[in-house]
C-alpha cells in the first residue's frame, strides 16, 4: 500500500478514545510510529501531527501503554525530542 494511502487510512482513526481492544490499537500505533521514523520530512510531519492530535485529545492511555511496552528507552527519548521539536522548534 502506498505510504500516502496508508497515512490517510491511519489518520482517520485519530483521535480516538482509550476504549477498544489493545491488540488493534497496538497495530495502529505500530504503523503510525513506524511511519514517523521515515526519512522523508513530509511523512514525519504528518505522523507527528496525527500523534499530537491524539495527545491533544487527552486520550493517551493506549499510546503510552504501547510505547512503554514496545520501545527501548533510547527510542522513547528520541521520539519525545521529536514531538517537542515539532511543537516548539529551536531557533
pLDDT for 31-77, tens place per residue? 888 888 776 777 888 888 898 899 999 999 988 888 888 888 888 88
Q: Do 34 and 68 form a contact (C-beta atoms < 8 A)?
A: no
44 is in which domain, residue-wise?
3-87
Work out whether the CA dihedral 12, 15, 17, 18 comes out positive or negative: positive
Name every residue whose Cβ is closer than 8 Å to that of residue 2 and which is 6 or more positions away in sequence. none
Which pTM was predicted? 0.75
Structurally, the chain folds into a number of domains equal to: 1
Amino acid at each position: 500500500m502506498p505510504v500516502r494511502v496508508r497515512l490517510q487510512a491511519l489518520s482517520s482513526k485519530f483521535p480516538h478514545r482509550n476504549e477498544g481492544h489493545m491488540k488493534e490499537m497496538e497495530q495502529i500505533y505500530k504503523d503510525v510510529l513506524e511511519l514517523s521514523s521515515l526519512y522523508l520530512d513530509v511523512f514525519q510531519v504528518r505522523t507527528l501531527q496525527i500523534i499530537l492530535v491524539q495527545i491533544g485529545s487527552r486520550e493517551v492511555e493506549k499510546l503510552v501503554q504501547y510505547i512503554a511496552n514496545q520501545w527501548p528507552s533510547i527510542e522513547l527519548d528520541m521520539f519525545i525530542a521529536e514531538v517537542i521539536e515539532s511543537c516548539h522548534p529551536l531557533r
